[in-house]
Chains A and B, each alone.
Chain A
Amino acid sequence: MTLPPPAPPVAPDAVTASTPPRIELRGISKRFAATQALEDVSLDLLPGEVHGLVGENGAGKSTLVKILAGVHQADSGTIRLDGEATQIHGPAHSRSLGIAVVHQEPRLFPDLTVAENVFIGHAPSGRLGSIDWGGTRRRAESLFRELDVQVDVGAPVRGLSMADQQLIEIAKSLSLEARVLILDEPTASLSAHEVERLFTIVRRLRGRGVSVLFVSHRLDEVFALCDRATVFRDGRHVVTMATRDLTTADLVRHMVGRTVSLFPKVETPIGDVLLAVSGLTKVGEFRDVGFSVRAGEIVGFAGLVGAGRTEVARVLFGIDQRDRGQVLLAGVPVSFASPSAAMHAGIAYLPEDRHQEGLVQDFTIAQNVTLPILPRLFPRLLTRISTERKVAHEFTEQLSVRMTGVDQLVGSLSGGNQQKVVLAKWLASRPRILILDEPTRGIDIGAKVEVHRIISELAASGLGIILISSDLPEVLAMSDRILVFHEGKITAEIPRGQATQERVMFAATGSATVDEPAAAPAAGGVQSEQRLDG
């Protein structure tokens, strides 16, 4: 097995038209039913460059990755690989073309060893076509040596961290002599140390002439690692520039430079403290989280995926248990062993994953809405369809769910309407604290505005609301206060009047905390900005 021949690293400014791009995308479009995921997107990936691809949720990054990985086929547009027009038919074809994708959560075989995972499907064979384990081991070892990584290739993958599993995927791509390495949000669940290790390896690969597409929404990482960066917004290509000609502020402006019609939060008198959290810690997830939520207040949780926001919510709702810390609900210390206990205390949690955690897809709307409140609705055990429908009617009407009736199966509703049903379900439980985890993810603009109106009205009615969202304009428009999470800690608390996208983004990407020298050059302008937070 040979690695790609070491090529001289290509400096970003040495890139000229004479160098044929490794991958040349022209006019790529892709549509999913009502959503135009990608529209007329073009992108060049040069040999030996690390190319950052940034954009907000829904910008089209993942769709592009899936097209290159062969999972989706583009509706229109051309793909050229080393100058040759190509169509990518499927995952296996993509691999054989020398494109390797490392996902945020690697798809490995937990019971098999590291070495075997690297070589599965193309293991070296010995006599009689049997697998040459010694050879497999040696090659895996030499691969990891080339990456300058020490790893026991004979250990099973189960029990390894995400970061280590990603390294195995990278070693696998090397063993396949991949020319293109796509890292799809690889750092989302990695610690700072693990991120730095990954970067070291990616730089080594760049030195060998591998083209790397680095998909991320952590801007400091893009500056630390990438030669060029491309910004997508709402499925369109916005800009491609050398990172040294860009500032964080530029990038943020390009990413969020959209005007979203948001329903502005109605100013509401803020009441007493409903929920007070202090020193909340769950080992490995978050530490020393403290905040309070008042009646009528919307507290936004901003931050990157994996920063610990959902994990805090899960503890508050009794799904997971905390290791340390205190939670006061209306002044009384509480600890919930189960979601039902949290529910009885008046906490409701609209989960991140609507399909898997929010709804029973083949229950009717009425059945879904009443699921949490069944024991209260029917104290004498027997259910009454008429009561159920009445309750479901009341709350779905209030949220103007578009449906043929409350007997319609939830699975046949659109995403936005499904989300409203989840909201209706939790409103029916008459909570005091409502935790909303990514309430508008994956729903269309119209429904989004409606959900925002509902959230605003709920706050006005005196609920305390925690709004977890990765959608910056949403957090900014809706929240009275914004808490920014970074790697399991709250790094900034920004009141409504002072919140800007830049400030939140800087705190969320940890640009201000200069714990990595690598991040320093790009973060130059960031630090002065951060001082304002004091």
Chain B
Amino acid sequence: MSMTAAPARDQRRWMSLLARWETLLVLALIGLIVLGTTLSPFFLTAGNFSNLIAALMEVAIMAMPMTLIIVLGEIDLSVESMAGLSSAILGFLWAAGVPLWVGIAVVLVVGAFGGLLNGLIVARGGLPSLVVTLGTLALFRGMALIVLGPRGVSDFPDWFTAFGFGHVPGTLIPWPFMVFLALALVLGIVLHRTWIGRQVFAIGKNPSTARFSGVRVTRIRVSLFVLSGMVASLAGIILTSRLSSARADAGSGMTLTVATVVLLGGVNIFGGSGTIPGVALAVLCVAVMQNALRLASVTVEVQSIALGLLLILSVVIPTFAHQAKSALDRARRGRPPPADSIARGEAAP
């Protein structure tokens, strides 16, 4: 409850708790796990969970800053290309004999600059982020191809590849999952427990009011795009490590999954509401679903159909639920005056 953007005091708290999107996600998760268990006895094993979660970690990591960006009322379609560009640059530098840690640092800086480019064009130029990041989606991928071409670089040191598909010692928890967890924790606190997060919600709900209240709207927009770029780079590094191979086409098509996870997590595509725990739950749901489908011998192709359907439904369902709810409220209360009709009736001459 306390994680909400606007915790209105509700007498029937449990009702609103039940109606929360996160609750639905938890129920869905339980349902999927039960379903998975009936499909295969291996489903509930730690090893299986470890595998199912590892494959989705790049998406999960990129979904964290994407949550903030969509709450802000923007979108960043370029993340998958930035992951690809990072992989390509990392591979290129390594093949050229540059120490890996230098390469990693360079790649993170490139990610930050890519995000800065997006952020400046969107926030300073006042252009729609949808088109701008569509442009950089092509641009970053193109740069990746220019840097590395069609080849792959794969002779990375063991410590690097071990990070990608190794586990935290003594457990079956993949390292990338720890990265995701740390990111979720930090960004969850930033979004829900700091005033920066409050300002992000304010901008997403009403940019004019935010600006008139002294919120540095441009600075926050640019910063979040920079964050998104950097994290996309990080995801590219992890992807390279997990696949033990750097390729220019790394991460192709991931933006779709990232967006799906974020919207499934209950983030409003028009901005202003959404939670990090919701998105984290959505990550788990998608991971479990993909795993269950795989155990049910459903091909990757059909999984892509399921993902697309999920994306659309995650917008359709809340919209209709909202409409149904307000229709119900209206029926219950009779015909109420619109909340602002008093003020608007004669306010504007």
Contacts and interface: CB of A to CB of B under 8 A. Distances in A.
A–B: direct contact at CB < 8 Å:
yes
A412 interface: yes
A27 interface: no
A351 interface: yes
B67 to A, nearest CB: 18
B342 A414 contact: yes
Interface string B206-225: 10111111111000000000
Contacts of A418: 343
Contacts of A411: 339-340
Interface in A329-381: 338-340, 342-344, 349, 351, 353-364, 367, 371-372, 374-375, 377-378, 381
Nearest to B192: A383
Contact of A358 (B193, B198, B209, B340): B209
Contact of B7 (A58, A364, A371): A364
Nearest to B190: A381
B202 interface: yes
A462 interface: no
Contacts of A367: 6, 198
B240 to A, nearest CB: 33
Given A32-B337, A355-B343, A383 B210 contact: no
A361 B6 CA distance: 10
Given A185-B349, A357-B209, A359-B209, A372 B194 contact: no
B9, B199, B211, B213 — which one has the most chain A CB atoms within 10 A of its CB? B213
Interface residues of A, number: 62
Interface stretch (A402-410, A503-511, A523-531): A402-410
Interface stretch (A42-50, A59-67, A108-116, A139-147): A59-67
Nearest to A425: B213
B343 A442 contact: yes
A14 interface: no
Contacts of A382: 189, 193-194
A372 B214 CA distance: 6
A381 B349 CA distance: 42
B6 A340 contact: no
Contacts of A185: 349
Contacts of B6: 362-364, 367, 409
Interface in B1-42: 2, 5-9
B6, B272, B343, B344 — which one has the most chain A CB atoms within 10 A of its CB? B343
B343 A354 contact: yes
B345 interface: yes
A222 interface: no
B159 interface: no
A241 to B, nearest CB: 22
Contacts of A415: 340, 342-343, 347
Contacts of B8: 364, 407-409
B194 A62 contact: no
Interface string A495-507: 0000000000000
Interface in A32-53: 32-35, 37
25 contacts: A35-B342, A35-B345, A35-B346, A57-B349, A61-B349, A62-B346, A62-B348, A305-B349, A338-B214, A340-B214, A353-B208, A356-B208, A356-B209, A357-B209, A359-B206, A361-B205, A363-B6, A363-B205, A371-B198, A371-B209, A374-B199, A381-B194, A409-B6, A415-B343, A442-B348
Given A62-B349, A381-B194, 13 more contacts: A35-B342, A339-B211, A353-B208, A356-B209, A360-B210, A362-B6, A371-B202, A378-B194, A378-B195, A385-B2, A404-B9, A408-B8, A442-B343
Interface of A: 32-35, 37, 57-58, 60-63, 185, 217, 305, 317, 319, 338-340, 342-344, 349, 351, 353-364, 367, 371-372, 374-375, 377-378, 381-383, 385, 404-405, 407-409, 411-412, 414-415, 418, 425, 429, 441-443
